[in-house]
Amino acid sequence: MDIQNPGRRNFLKAVGVGAASLALEGCLSASEQLADGESVSKPNIVFIIVDDMGWADLSCYGSRQIKTPNIDQMAAEGLRFTQAYSGCTVCAPARSVLMTGLHMGHTSVRGNSGGIPLRDSDITVAEVLKQAGYTTGGFGKWGLGDVETPGVPEKQGFDEFFGYYHQVHAHDYWTEYLWHNSQKVPMTGEKGSSERYTHYRIFKRMLDFIRRNKDRSFFCYAPWTPPHGSYQIPESDPAWQMVKAKPWNQRAKVVAAMDMMIDRHVGELRELLEELKIDHRTLVFFCSDNGAANRFEGTLDSSGPLRGAKRSMYEGGIRVPLIARWPGRIPAGTVSEHLCSFADVMPTLAELAGASHYLPAHVDGLSIEPTLTGQPAKQKKHRFLYWEWHLYNWGKRKNIPNGLMQAVRMGKWKAVRHTSDVPFELYDLSRDMGEKNNLAAEHPEIVAEIEAFIQRDRTEPRPQIEPDKPKGKRFR
């Protein structure tokens, strides 16, 4: 089955924003009345996705070492999900699932070498929202197409993107340049300085985008790079000053400082929205792209009670924190156990924008708008959630034989295997959150149902090919 729809993509390119706006007339989410009678247009959407933050790295998810008061406040004033999942256990495929609404058995980018591009025929959530009249901007790490490929963000629905295109480039916070719409932007300042620190630059550009677009509906995609990469933070950062004397190893201290820096920036974002008087009509999401890169057992305990970490199909690799805040629309202080994943982002944002009619065919995700707005009885539920990733030999630049990892969530059941030549393990997550008791031998019928789903619903990936690179470099 061809799950892509080039014809529909061409239609989306042809339809003007004016026509899209007309199509939105009469939609509840396009124009509403607040309690005081003020008319509100489609909500602004800020989607923050940080890199490699563990499920238990936030205070509101149980961290005892990392203080995150601003994100905790966001959760207290909004909705916190306890069973939200990434699209994958590693960076690029997870972002491909988020952007396309297609799970890992269908989405275009399934490798994680850093520059495999989306296809021109892929339709992203940014393209759908742009058709609904949104101004679209991205700030951080893209990872779905290097410069001069069809996957660059400005060819995938973004009016502007500032940051890293190839994700290997994003390992360096003191890089010599970033990209803005495929134009190289030189970095100034000395390595190690606050002036040169790329996350500061990216965050500043993001706030500027919000200021410039405060009077129109905008989609601000914020794939921030911390706490991933080379674990670098300026010594002058207040968060580093708070942790530098801790009796932890250096990497744990830098990760904790990065998480606290992120929390500070979430607070500064909130202050800006209030200053611009758009806080009440701005929906803010916060999540991580996959599980923690390191568990830091005995110090940060980043995976908490979950088994595994990034690059694993156990819960510690794919379950992520997810918080949503929208004053007056999302009931404050709520917690949801609804099962959702990155594939649900596209249909959710489309419904909130009154743009569901622009969704491509065969999207795997389901809108979680009912859960967000306090109507769980109306929420559609997934029969299955699916993940895969093929283990990769970086030295030989090719997949490892029999290295296909897979996982399926079916209600309370979780099936997982870490190579294709071993049987599935099976866990009852309602009783065994830490995936300690393999029940596959006791419930072969459940395993058979899950295997039948994979056989029926998964497609083989297209060749996962990196674009040509300058001699001696891994990215442009």
Residue 366 shares a structural domain with residue 391: no
**Residue where the block lists tokens 């568990």:** 295
Residue 323 shares a structural domain with residue 424: no
Give ∠ CA 140-142-143 in degrees, rounded to 5.
135
Residue 409 shares a structural domain with residue 340: no
Distances (CA, A) of 280 to 34, 98, 151, 207, 347: 10, 25, 34, 17, 22
CB 345 within 8 A of CB 365: yes
pTM exceeds cut of 0.95: no
Task: Determine the pLDDT at residue 398.
Answer: 87
Residue 289 shares a structural domain with residue 427: no
Task: Determine the pLDDT at residue 472.
Answer: 87
Nearest to 102 by CA among 319, 341, 321, 291: 341
Task: With respect to residue 13, please indicate whether it lies within any of the assigned structural domains.
Answer: no
CB 457 within 8 A of CB 362: no
Task: Determine the pLDDT at residue 396.
Answer: 84
Q: Is the dihedral of CA 333, 338, 339, 343 positive or negative?
A: negative
In angstroms, the CA 476 to CA 469 distance is 6
The number of C-alpha atoms within 13 Å of 254 and in the hemisphere containing its C-beta is 16
Task: With respect to residue 16, please indicate whether it lies within any of the assigned structural domains.
Answer: no
Spell out the SS3 assignment of 197-260.
Answer: CHHHHHHHHHHHHHHHCCCCCEEEEECCCCCCCCCCCCCCCHHHHHHCCCCCCHHHHHHHHHHH
**Residue where the block lists tokens 């769980």:** 376
In angstroms, the CA 277 to CA 433 distance is 42
CB 65 within 8 A of CB 305: no
Task: With respect to residue 33, please indicate whether it lies within any of the assigned structural domains.
Answer: no
Task: Write the DSSP symbol of residue 102.
Answer: -
Count of CB atoms within 10 A of residue 392's CB? 18
**Residue where the block lists tokens 């030549």:** 421
Residue 364 shares a structural domain with residue 442: no
Task: Determine the pLDDT at residue 41.
Answer: 63
Nearest to 153 by CA among 178, 179, 114, 190: 179
Tokens (6 digits) for 188:
């100034």
Residue 336 shares a structural domain with residue 415: no
Residue 101 shares a structural domain with residue 152: yes
Distances (CA, A) of 457 to 2, 104, 109, 211, 362: 12, 10, 17, 44, 11
Give ∠ CA 342-376-432 in degrees, rounded to 5.
65
Residue 164 shares a structural domain with residue 193: yes
CATH number at residue 453: 3.30.1120.10
Task: Determine the pLDDT at residue 428.
Answer: 98
Task: With respect to residue 174, please indicate whether it lies within any of the assigned structural domains.
Answer: yes
In angstroms, the CA 35 to CA 44 distance is 19
470 burial via Cβ count (<10 Å: 0-12, 13-18, 19+)? exposed
pLDDT digits (tens), the chain, 476 positions: 333 444 445 444 444 333 333 333 333 333 344 333 333 469 999 999 999 999 999 999 999 999 999 999 999 999 999 999 999 999 999 999 999 999 999 999 999 998 999 999 999 999 999 999 999 999 999 999 999 999 999 999 999 999 999 999 999 999 999 999 999 999 999 999 999 999 999 999 999 999 999 999 999 999 999 999 789 999 999 999 999 999 999 999 999 999 999 999 999 999 999 999 999 999 999 999 999 999 999 999 999 999 999 999 999 999 999 999 999 999 999 999 999 999 999 999 999 999 999 999 899 999 999 999 999 999 999 999 999 999 998 888 889 999 999 999 999 999 999 999 999 999 999 999 999 999 999 999 999 999 999 999 999 999 999 998 898 898 99
Q: Which phi and psi (to 5°) does residue 175 adopt?
A: -60, 160
Residue 156 shares a structural domain with residue 116: yes
Nearest to 223 by CA among 314, 81, 125: 125
Number of domains, the chain: 2
Count of CB atoms within 10 A of residue 24's CB? 20
User: Pairing relation of β-strands 135-141 and 218-222?
Assistant: parallel
Residue 363 shares a structural domain with residue 399: no
Residue 205 shares a structural domain with residue 351: yes
Task: Determine the pLDDT at residue 2.
Answer: 35
Domain with 425, as residue range(s), is 385-457
